[in-house]
């Protein structure tokens, strides 16, 4: 490993990260029905107005009893009690349990006043008029106490939580019908390039199937955004502006891929340079040519734009490093970054001096090791697809021997 001085032309990864992050502000908050909230970020804490369980209830189907009535019972000396009430789940009015009697009770039903335990039906003869019980029970057996799970006034969900199925379950269990959530950022994903063909159509020499647009739109959705995809924007500045125009009012972020390096037909650069988007080279591999700024069409603050490089792996890695954290922050999520782990490298790796390298790799959690998938080339999309992490090689490393400790960002 040697120390290398980064080229002065290259912008540090952290600086470009901040530039992208600063473009986006938190999205508005609105109130939505629970079944529209999965995956969104909660905007306000949720406090339980009631305890959970709301009342003492039975954990088993069986008979509500006084444990003292069964103190002397065993297999050889069963006792028979009259069954004086039936308590299905949801019964509201309950008669008290008199000494020396039992109530038939179902799982989740209220425990009647006077009862202090449930005898599971398996320990009885299942009688409906009278029941024969052959085991004793301790006080509190097979009962679930009010407030055992949640006390009234407890905070059950905190703002910034990414709402999962279980979060929605607990919100509903405490009686919440709607939640305050951040609206997902609306992202317009554009791909340009005269060589791009729609999958399903025939491919002629020199043409390739479009892949960045579909991939980035999916990545936006996975990150918690909402994506609109314009896949075949022609390599023409006027056509580029025309493609954007109808969507600007409803767009929080424009993501483009391709057309930003040094070629003669760099439509994204040609259309956006001078309109508030700065094009730079970042000290990163893949993902060196980058752009970020605002797209101005006249009045107003402009629409945030991030221009990603066209090579598919560069586009995807740049999305992970720069766009995803910013998008998640704007969408109100507390968790903005992928999980990070330390891992032991299983083979030797080389890297360009002065650039942070992100290699596609597979992390094995059982051994704590990481193995690169495919080579460093930014056209090797299949190894992006088979990777489960990005392996980060720091800017100052030019060679990492097998056995080195490295950081990995888990993608799944």
Tokens of 80: 């028979």
- Which partner from the list ligand LQZAQKY5, ligand MOO, none does 253 bind, CB cut-off 5 to 8 Å by kind? none
> What is the spatial distance between Cα 271 and Cα 285, in angstroms, rounded to a whole number?
25
CB of 380 to ligand LQZAQKY5, least distance (A): 12
Closer to ligand LQZAQKY5 by Cβ: residue 44 or 270 = 270
- Which partner from the list ligand LQZAQKY5, ligand MOO, none does 193 bind, CB cut-off 5 to 8 Å by kind? ligand LQZAQKY5
Strand order in the sheet with 79-87: 117-120, 62-65, 102-105, 79-87, 130-133
The DSSP element (H or E) to which 87 belongs, if any, is strand 79-87
Concatenating the DSSP letter of every residue in 117-133 gives EEEEGGGB---SSEEEE
Q: In this structure, what DSSP letter does residue 332 have?
A: T
Candidate ranges 137-145, 146-154, 181-189, 309-317; the one touching ligand MOO (CB under 6 A): 309-317
> What is the spatial distance between Cα 361 and Cα 380, in angstroms, rounded to a whole number?
12
Q: Which one of 259, 309, 312, 332 is in contact with ligand MOO (CB under 6 A)?
A: 309
Candidate ranges 94-102, 104-112, 242-250, 284-292; the one touching ligand MOO (CB under 6 A): 284-292
Closer to ligand LQZAQKY5 by Cβ: residue 180 or 212 = 212
Positive/negative CA dihedral, 266, 270, 271, 277 = positive
Closer to ligand MOO by Cβ: residue 231 or 281 = 281
| Residues in a beta bridge with 179 | 32
Angstrom CA distances, 283 to 8, 14, 37, 136, stand at 10, 10, 38, 73
**Contact characters 351-380, ligand LQZAQKY5, x per CB under 6 A:** ---------------------------x--
Q: Which residues bind ligand MOO (CB under 6 A)?
A: 285-288, 309, 311, 314, 378
Q: Which residues bind ligand LQZAQKY5 (CB under 6 A)?
A: 191, 193, 195-196, 208, 210-213, 257-263, 266, 286, 288-289, 309-312, 314, 378
């Amino acid at each position: 490993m040697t120390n290398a001085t980064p080229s002065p032309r290259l912008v540090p990864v952290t600086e470009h990260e901040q530039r992208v992050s600063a473009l986006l502000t938190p999205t508005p908050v609105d109130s939505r029905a629970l079944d529209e909230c999965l995956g969104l970020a909660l905007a306000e804490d949720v406090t339980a107005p009631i305890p959970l369980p709301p009342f003492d209830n039975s954990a088993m189907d069986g008979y509500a009893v006084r444990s003292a009535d069964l103190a002397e019972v065993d297999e050889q000396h069963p006792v028979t009690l009259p069954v004086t009430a039936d308590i299905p789940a949801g019964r509201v009015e309950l008669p008290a349990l008199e000494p020396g009697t039992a109530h038939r009770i179902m799982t989740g039903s209220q425990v009647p006043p006077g009862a202090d335990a449930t005898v599971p039906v398996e320990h009885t003869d299942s009688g409906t008029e009278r029941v024969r019980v052959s085991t004793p029970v301790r006080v509190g057996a097979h009962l679930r106490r009010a407030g055992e799970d949640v006390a009234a006034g407890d905070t059950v969900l905190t703002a910034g939580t990414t709402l999962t199925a279980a979060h929605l379950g607990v919100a509903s269990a405490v009686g919440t019908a709607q939640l305050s959530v951040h609206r997902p950022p609306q992202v317009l994903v554009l791909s340009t390039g005269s060589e791009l063909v729609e999958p399903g159509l025939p491919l002629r020499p020199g043409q390739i199937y479009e892949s960045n647009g579909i991939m980035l739109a999916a990545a936006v959705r996975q990150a918690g955004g909402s994506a609109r995809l314009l896949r075949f924007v022609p390599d023409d500045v006027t056509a580029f502006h025309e493609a954007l125009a109808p969507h600007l009012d409803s767009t929080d972020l424009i993501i483009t891929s391709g057309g930003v390096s040094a070629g003669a037909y760099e439509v994204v650069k040609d259309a956006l340079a001078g309109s508030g988007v700065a094009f730079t080279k970042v000290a990163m591999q893949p993902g060196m040519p980058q752009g970020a700024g605002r797209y101005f069409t006249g009045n107003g603050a402009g629409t945030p734009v991030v221009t990603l490089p066209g090579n598919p792996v560069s586009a995807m890695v740049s999305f992970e490093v720069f766009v995803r954290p910013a998008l998640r922050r704007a969408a109100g999520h507390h968790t903005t970054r992928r999980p990070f782990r330390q891992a032991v490298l299983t083979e030797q790796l080389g890297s360009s001096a002065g650039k942070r390298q992100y290699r596609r790799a597979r992390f094995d959690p059982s051994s704590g090791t990481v193995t690169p998938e495919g080579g460093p080339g930014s056209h090797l999309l299949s190894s992006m697809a088979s990777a489960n992490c990005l392996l980060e090689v720091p800017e100052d490393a030019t060679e990492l021997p097998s056995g080195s400790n490295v950081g990995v960002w888990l993608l799944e």
